[in-house]
Amino acid sequence: MINDEAPGLNRAAGDPLRGEKANIGILRGFRDISNQSRVGFLVSDRELGDGYNRVASVDGRFKLNDNWITEMQFTGTESEPLADGESTTGYQRNIQVNRVGRTLNTHSHFVDTSTDFRTELGFQRRYSRSDTTGIHNRVALTFYPEAFNINSWSTTVMDFYLNDTKGTRIYHSLAPQFDLNFDTTGFGFQYSDYTEILRPQDFPGVVSNTRYNYDNWRVSFYDITLESIELKASYQTGKTLNLVPAFGSLPTVEDTNRVTADLIWRPIDRLRIANTYFYTEVETSSGGSKVFSNEILRSNWNYQFTRELSLRFIAQYEQTEAGPLTRLENEENLNFDVLLRYVINPWSAFYVGYNSNQSNFDIVEMEGERELVTTNDLRRDGNQFFVKFSYLFRR
C-alpha cells in the first residue's frame, strides 16, 4: 500500500485536489507450474479524489521445448475521471513467441491495445500505446567460422509496424544489422528506415494524416580485453522526427546525432561500477541550426558485502539545452539513489532506500497564483525514503 501526497502539493487555493493524497494498492502473485513455466496475476488500484484507475491482468510464461518459449498477458482496465464524466474500460492483449538457439534466434511480439486502455501506474511504450495494434519480428542468424580468428558473425533483421484500431498504418520500421565478434572485441553496423504517420488526434495543428520518412545509421563497438574493465560505445547519425517543435509549428524531419558510451569497472571482486553517458543532438536539416541537445551522465555503484547483503548507489545528472526551434526549455536535473538490500532467498528480500532530486525549477507565488519558473541553480524538489519487504511462501 502506498499513500502519495505529491498530487495534492503546490495546488492553488480552491482547487478541490489541494492537499489530497493518492491511495495506491498493488498485489502480485505467481506460481511455478513446471520447469521454467509459470502463471500469475496482477491487480492495482490508484484513487485520487473522486477518480480512480484500476488494472487487473493474468499472465503466463510457458517453455514449450528446449528452443521455444511463449509469454502472454491479458489486461483489463477501468478508469473514472477526476471531474464529472463517464467511467471507461479498456483491454490489452500481449503475446510473444521466442526461439532460442545457437544459430537461429527469433522473436515475434503481438500487442493489441484498445482506445480506452489506461495504466496510470505503468508506462506504455510506442508499440503498446492506446488505440494501436502492432507486431514486431526479429530474426537473427549466427555463424561460427573456424578461419580468420573470428569467433562469430551474425545478421539480424527487425521489422515493426503499428496500425490504429481502424486499420490505418501509423508506423513502420525496418532495421537490418550486422555484427562481428572476436575474442575480446566486437563491432556492429545497423541501418534503420522509418515511416511514421501523424493523425489529427496525434498532434495539434495536423489537419489530415501526414506521412514522414526518415532513416539513420549506427555503428557500435565493445572491448573486454582487460578482465576488470568492459567498454561499449556507439554512434548514430541520420534523420529523426522532431515531435517537440516550437509552439505553433508542426513536426519536421531533422538531422540527428547520438553518442552512447558505457564503462563497467570491477576494481575488486565485491565492487562493480557502471558508468553511462548519453548525448543526443537535433539540428535543422536546412541550415544546421540547433533544435535541442540532451546529455545524461549516470554512475551506478554496487557493493556486495556478503552473499545476502548489498548496497547500491546511483548518481545521475541530466541537462537539456533548447534552441528557439523547440518548445523544450533549458533543464538541469541531479538525482541520487541509495538502496540497501538483504536477500533471504531468491524470491524474498528486505529493502531500505532513499532518493533525492534537484532541478533548475521552482514554484513561486505571482499575483496570488503559483507558477513554475526556471532558476539559475539547482533546487531540491524531492526526497523519498522507503522500506520494502517481499517474501515467498513455499510449500
Tell whether 31 is covered by a domain. Answer: no
Listed range (26-35, 67-76, 152-161, 369-378) with the worst mean pLDDT: 369-378
Would 337 be classed as within a structural domain? yes
What is the biggest distance separating any 2 CA atoms in the chain, rounded to whole angstroms? Answer: 76
For residue 366, pLDDT over 50 is answered with: no
* pLDDT-based confidence at residue 10 (cuts at 50, 70, 90): low
Total structural domains within the chain: 1
On whether the CB atoms of residues 32 and 97 are closer than 8 A, the answer is no
Query: Pairing between strand 229-242 and 210-223?
Result: antiparallel
- Is 2 within a domain? no
Enclosing H/E stretch for 122 = none
Q: What is the average pLDDT across 182-203? A: 94
pLDDT at 340: 96
pLDDT at 352 over 90: yes
Q: Summarize pLDDT for 291-337 with one digit per residue, the tens.
A: 999 999 999 999 999 999 999 999 999 999 999 999 998 999 999 99
* Residue count (the chain): 395
Q: Which residues contact 6 (CB under 8 A, 6 or more apart)?
A: 22
**Tens-digit pLDDT profile for residues 92-146:** 999 999 999 999 999 999 999 999 998 888 777 767 788 999 999 999 999 999 8
Arithmetic mean of pLDDT, 347-355: 91
Question: Residues 167-186: what's their mean pLDDT?
Answer: 94
Residue 229, pLDDT > 90, answer yes
Tell me which residue range forms the domain holding 263.
Answer: 40-390
- List the CATH number of the domain containing 245: 2.40.160
pLDDT above 60 for 342: yes
Within a domain: residue 28? no
Q: Is residue 250 part of a domain?
A: yes
Top mean-pLDDT range of 48-52, 225-229, 370-374 = 225-229
Instruction: Say whether pLDDT at 280 is over 90.
Output: yes
Residue 74 lies in a domain: yes
Distance CA(123)–CA(110), nearest Å, equals: 17
Please report whether residue 71 resides in a domain: yes
d(CA 294, CA 282): 9
Question: Please, are residues 352 and 387 in contact by the beta-carbon 8 Å criterion?
Answer: yes
Q: Kindly report which listed range (75-84, 296-305, 321-330, 348-357) carries the lowest average pLDDT score.
A: 75-84
Q: 11 in a domain, yes or no?
A: no
Reported confidence tier of residue 376, pLDDT bands at 50, 70, 90: low
